[in-house]
Amino acid sequence: MTGMDRPRRLRRTPAMRRLVAETSLEPRHLILPMFVADGLDEPREISSMPGVFQHTMDSLRKAAVEAVAAGVGGLMLFGVPKAEDKDAQGSGASDPDGILNRGLRALVHEVGGSTVVMADTCLDEFTDHGHCGVLDANGAVDNDATLTRYVEMALAQAETGADLLGTSGMMDGQVGAIREGLDAAGYADTGILAYAAKYASAFYGPFREAVGSSLQGDRRTYQQDPANRREAIRELELDLLEGADIVMVKPAMSYLDILREVADRSTVPVAAYQISGEYAMITAAAQRGWIDRKGAVLESLLGIRRAGADMVLTYWATEAANWLR
């Protein structure tokens, strides 16, 4: 036969496949989410996320050093306060001596300059009602009052030396309010990683355990409806206008179409978060021998990169980075 197209020629050997690969996955593309918990004497494994831990301050530093040695691009820190330290305003979030800000200072001291230290800038871990903002007299999340708290939280995090602040609360105007507050206080170099498209997902379940969430009800009045696509582009455009340095889509695997559209339109780098439920599903299937763990992890990360993510938050960041090295 003559004239037949033979794409298989470019798949024939590992060297040929490597030569023509359209998407790369490298350690620098990976960001490790980490949890530091108050009151622990030793790290505590999260039961719904085998292999992921709530850290003590010492184990946090050790895990950060290991991640940097593997070549990861960054670390995103979440704080887990004691239950008795939570209140309606999430006061611990802006307390310089609160668990998250102490953890950020520890990371900046230990690995600052060697990787990008990122802070979760949201109140949900610190409120006794578990919502991402403060509540009004009727029990609804008060958007504008929450912005005031976000600015206070952002200033405390900037003071620790964090490089990027992760605005994950999905309040209207949050990026602009935080940017204005940072600039006015002299933190013009502190960047904002905006959760531009964060959906109200069923796949967040294990994360709620990870941060000891006190949430009653749901977050559907402020996180995006999974049915909506155009809304994500509107959120993206608003965050860009307000000064976002990086934008993010969360979750990743169920929203690869959204990620592709955001990547096609964004004028700044794009991140995606491979969330706790995605981690738990692959882990559980691999533990039962139903899938190849390493192969599934790397394929899932490559798929997120192929869809347009410049960087991926993943609980496998250190392990995957070591595989890729």
Residue 294: active-site member: no
Q: Which of 62, 82, 198, 294 is catalytic?
A: 198
**Residues annotated in a binding site:** 208, 219, 235, 276, 315
| 59 touches 53 (CB < 8 A) | yes
| 153 touches 104 (CB < 8 A) | no
Residue 62: active-site member: no
Q: Which of 62, 82, 250, 294 is catalytic?
A: 250
Query: In this structure, which amino acid lies at residue 291?
Result: I
Question: What are the residue numbers of the active site?
Answer: 198, 250
